Every structure is written in structure tokens, then in C-alpha cells.
Amino acid sequence: MFDDFFTRALVAGIGIAIITGPLGCLVIWRRLSYFGDTLAHSALLGVTLAYAFSLNIAFSVFVISAVIALLLLNLQKRTRLAGDSLLGLLAHSTLAIGLVLIGFLSSIRFDIMGLLFGDILAVTVEDIALVWIGGFIILGILYFIWKSLFSATVNYDLASAEGMKPNIYNMIFTLLLAGVIALSIKMIGTLLITGLLIIPAAASRNITNNPKQMVLVAILIGILSVTIGLFTSLELNTSSGPSIIVIALILFIISLIPLELRGKLQK
Amino acid sequence: MSKNNLLVSLENAGIYKSPKWLIRGVSLEVKSGQIVTLIGPNGSGKTTTAKIVLNILEPDEGSLKRFTNKIAYVPQKINIDWTMPLRVVDFMRLTNNLSNNEIIESLNQTGVEKLFKEQIHGLSGGEFQRVLLARAIAKKPELLVLDEPVQGVDFNGEIDLYNIIKNISANLNCGILLVSHDLHFVMSATDHVVCLNGHICCSGKPSAVIKDKAYLELFGEHRSKTLTYYQHDHDHTHNSDGSVSS
């Protein structure tokens, strides 16, 4: 069944969309979109290291992302620079280090375009297993910590006062985010993974009115984006990552229509 | 839980935020069935003190002992971004699982049961304050910390909410730590008053605090005199520390 590269890509992509739905909602609720971006930029360094020391790519990306996340928390304690400045510093310096290291690895054949934008041809059966097993673990953990994480997202002090231990769960959330980036890097590419986190969630917000609904609809929009995006990519011979994100954008634009109509009706 | 159990005790607490101590040497106790109020000017450390009691802030000196984990909190300010779609009913379930009936019952107590399915973003300041209080009551807490719970509520609403607060302390037998600007309510309906200005200026029963020199200096003799001191009917008497003697 997985002989066909396209089927493999579709199965892996749908798996990714199911994970990015709920995490994407949390990312936009917590205003962390630039944080996701930083982790994704640093992923290039992870991939480079994976090639240099022949490690598993997802594992290496996960470790680097987790280190970056912890570095950020540490820097926030040491300096009074605003969060976005620190994120910019980390994002671009890790991206630069990654690119410099690639220069040293000239002996290894390296598809940098595939890394930046995703490559459906590269998805193997092992990748599918990784996405679905990894995704199952990520969603399982998320399910268990949802109440604490969600209450801390609404109001940190309230959650903290009422015994939800937000600091621990915030840390776990950061690791989950690193995990989802590691899993989806091959499909979507480092430059666009934040798009798959944010755009379906944002589109979902336009047409839903409670948190649970928003998560479910975000998953649906993600699955639609991946499916239509991959078909388009096959037909038009375009990179898989950008095609998926363009479809997500189109769905976002469509999601604005009900808002507009409601606005007109109220006038 | 029987009456007069010690719920929380703060001893000599201080929080340092360079270059100064926000509060220092603050001690207080809350027992079940008791309303303890924190009063003081802006920046006197009322919210900071409440946050230490809630374990949100860790004191740099002094210690906190807590004897209950059933705690509910009404913070002074909550901003919920539009990005987060949230109905009143979702907000009510934020930190514990409640049935629809329990939720409606609590909302009913604060007079906002019709807002059940409304979006949080559409509420007025006063409505939101009532929802916040309802959420805290629904938890059936043993210790309730209220940070200016009636801000933005209209005049009649204020009286309603203060009555509800009095009832909670009586019906649920929970201890309440209240931050309030409403000296009338503080003096007429609470058991123990702590007057803060970075440190404890004075504390004790309302009848004692209102005559205290430090209190008069802080709130101005004129203002404090225009407030009629309302001696409330009690079916019990208080010890000097505000606890109820039977």
C-alpha cells in the first residue's frame, strides 16, 4: 500500500496535520508564532548535525530545538531584552551556524531546497512510522496536560493559584513543539512549518466559538491543506511544502467569508 | 471542615524587587469562616501579598504555611485575547470539571445565568466580574482570595456581590482574603482588617483599626470620619485576632 511515493506522502502529511492542529491553536493563543519560527530555523542546524554525525534527522532536530527553547528561557532570565529580540537572535544565529556547517560538509550530497521547502519524494515508510508513533505520543501527552496547559494559557496567575502547576506544563509544551517540528521537517521544510501550525488554527478561529471546536476544525483544515496541497504539488510539479501552505492560505481566505457576512448582517 | 481551622498563615513575608522591598514584614492568618481584608493605597502591596498567599510569588524572606489545597482566586485583571474563542461555560470549567447544573447554579448566585453560552469577549466589565466570582464559588473552595472583586460593577451590583461574598463565607464556611477599596464594606462586614503600606500599618478588628492613628493617617481623618461605622449584628463574638469565639 505504501509502495507509491504519493500515498506515503499523503499518509505522513495527514498524520502531521493531526498533530499541528491542537499545537497550532496553542501557539496562536499563546502568541508564540515567532517562537515556532525560531525553532524551525534552528532545525537546519539539527539537520546539518544529523548528516555530519549520521544521526536520525528527527532526533537531531528535536534535540537542537529543545536546547534552543531552554536557551531562550535562560536568556530571558539574564537580560532584559524583549522576547522577540531574543527569538530573532537565536533564530538567525542558529540558521547561520547551520549554513556555515553545510559549507564544511561539501563532500556529502545535500538537498538544501528539500530541507527548506520539504520534499515528498523523500518520505519513506520509516518516516510514516515516525510521524504516526511520534504523533501518537505527542497527542497523548497533550491530552493529559491539556487542562493545565489551557488554563495557564487563559491566565497564568489563576492557573498557578489554583494548583495547575503551569511552569512545569509550559516546559513540556515547549518540548512538544520541538517534537512536532522534528517530525514534520522532511515534509514541509524548515521555512514553512510554522505556516502549517498557524494558518489552519487561524482559519479555524474565524469560524468557531469554543476551544474544543477550534482544535477540531484546525485539524480538519490542516488535513484538507495537506491533501489538496499534495495533489497540486503532484499535478503542477511544485515543492510539497509551499503547495500545502498556499492551500492553507486559500482556506484561510475562505474562512473570512462567514465573518464578513455576519458583519454585513449586523449593519 | 469545622469552624476556625487555620487555612493559611503568612509570617514576616517580604518581596524584594530591586531596588526596593515591595512589602516587608507582612504577617497574617486566615481561618475558615472568616473574612480578612487587605486595605491600603495604590502600590501598597495588597495584590503582592495576595499572590504570596496563593503561591504565585515566592517570598524572599519569611514563610507561608498553607493547610488547604481547595483554593479559588478572583484576580484583579484578566485579559482574554480574541484569538481564544471562549464561552462563559468553558471559562467556568477552566480549572475543574463541573456539570452544567453546577455551573448554572453558580452563575445564578451572581445573577448572570443567562450569559451561560455567551462569548467572554462580549461581556461588559461588570458582567465579567460576576462570572469570575461565580467561577470561584463553583469550586466550593476552602480558601477564597478576591482581589477587588467588585471593580466595574454598578452600585446595586456592588451591594449584591458583597452580600454574596458574605454568604459564601457563612454557607461554605470558607476563609476569604479580600483586597478591597470599599471601606464601608470592609468596616461593616469583615472580621479582620490588615492595613498595608509596604508593611503592616495596623491590623485588627474593624472597630479597632478605624480608631488607629496609622489608619487615620493613611486614609485621612476627614474621609474616615465620613464613613459611618456600621456595627453589624452577630450571633457570635470575636477574639482580638478576629477569630470567632463560641
Chain A touched by B55 (CB under 8 Å):
yes
Q: What pLDDT sits at residue B151?
A: 84
Q: For residue A189, is pLDDT > 60?
A: yes
B139 touches chain A (CB under 8 A): yes
Q: Please indicate, yes or no, if residue A80 is contained in any of the structural domains.
A: yes
Q: In this structure, are B108 and B157 located in the same domain?
A: yes
* Chain A CA closest to residue B71: A162
Of B81, B85, B96, nearest to A209 by CB-CB distance is B85
Mind telling me how many Å the CA of B119 is from chain A's nearest CA? 7
| pLDDT (tens digit per residue) in A32-41 | 888 888 988 8
Of chain A, the percentage scoring pLDDT greater than 70 comes to 95
Residue B135 lies in a domain: yes
Collapse the DSSP code of A126 into the 3-class scheme (helix H, G, I; strand E, B; otherwise coil) and give the result.
helix
User: B56 and B99 share a domain?
Assistant: no
Give the total number of structural domains in chain B. 2
Closest CA to A22 of A223, A214, A249, A221: A214
Residues B103 and B64 in one domain: no
Q: Do B90 and A210 touch (CB under 8 A)?
A: yes
pLDDT surpassing 80 at residue A150? yes
Judged against a pLDDT cut of 60, whether residue B2 lies above it is answered with no
Confidence of residue B246 (pLDDT cuts 50, 70, 90): very low
A103 touches chain B (CB under 8 A): no
Q: Could you tell me if B58 and B98 lie in one domain?
A: no
**Confidence band, pLDDT 50/70/90 cuts, at residue B207:** confident
Asked whether residue A243 is domain-assigned, the answer is no
Any domain includes A254: no
Based on the structure, what is the number of domains in chain A? Answer: 1
Interface residue of A32, A155, A162 to substitute, partner B, most B CBs within 10 Å: A162
Task: Give the phi and the psi of residue B243 in degrees, each rounded to 5.
Answer: -75, 160
Q: Is the pLDDT of residue B245 over 60?
A: no
How many other C-beta atoms are found inside a 10 Å radius of the C-beta of residue B213? 10
Band (A67; pLDDT cuts 50, 70, 90): very high
Note which residues in 122-161 of chain A have CB less than 8 A from chain B.
147, 150-151, 153-155, 157-161
Residue B215 falls within a domain, yes or no? no
A183 neighbors A130 (Cβ within 8 angstroms): yes
Band the pLDDT of A193: cuts 50, 70, 90.
confident
Of B56, B80, B87, nearest to A157 by CB-CB distance is: B56
The answer to whether residue B165 sits within a structural domain is: yes
d(CA B87, CA B119): 4
A159 contacts in B (CB within 8 Å)? 94-95
B58 and B102 assigned to the same domain? no
- B11, B65: one domain: yes
Question: What is the domain extent for residue B62?
Answer: 1-33+52-69
Are B63 and B125 in a shared domain?
Answer: no
Indicate whether A73 pLDDT > 50: yes
pLDDT at B3 over 80: no
The mean pLDDT value for A120-127 works out to 81
Arithmetic mean of pLDDT, A179-196: 86
B chain contacts of residue A207, beta-carbon cutoff 8 Å? none
Domain boundary among B20, B44, B69: B69
Please say which residue of B16, B43, B69 terminates a domain: B69
The yes-or-no verdict on residue A112 having pLDDT over 90 is: no
Q: What is the pLDDT of residues A153-182, one digit of tens each?
A: 999 999 999 988 888 898 899 899 999 988
In a domain, B133, yes or no: yes
Domain check: are B92 and B171 in the same one? yes
- Is residue B217 domain-resident? no
Answer whether residue B229 is part of any domain: no
**Is residue A67 a part of any domain in this protein?**
yes
Number of A–B residue contacts, CB under 8 Å: 69
Pairwise pLDDT comparison (A248 vs A187), residue with the higher score: A248
Residues of chain B positioned with their CB less than 8 A from the CB of A161 = 51, 54-56, 71, 73, 75, 145
| B197 min Cα distance to partner chain A (Å) | 23
**Residue B58 included in any domain:** yes
In a domain, A261, yes or no: no
Q: Are B7 and B68 in contact (CB under 8 A)?
A: yes
Residues of A in contact with B56 (CB under 8 A): 157, 160-161
The answer to whether position A85 is within a domain reads: yes
- Over residues B175-192, mean pLDDT: 85
Of B72, B75, B81, the CB nearest to A157: B75
Q: Residue A119 belongs to a domain with what CATH number?
A: 1.10.3470.10
For residue B110, count other CB atoms closer than 10 A to its CB: 24
Question: What is the DSSP secondary structure assignment for residue B170, as one 8-state letter?
Answer: H
Domain that holds residue A179: 5-191
Cell of A25: 491553536
pLDDT surpasses 50 at B230: no
Mean of pLDDT over chain B: 84
**CA of B88: which chain A residue's CA is closest?**
A210
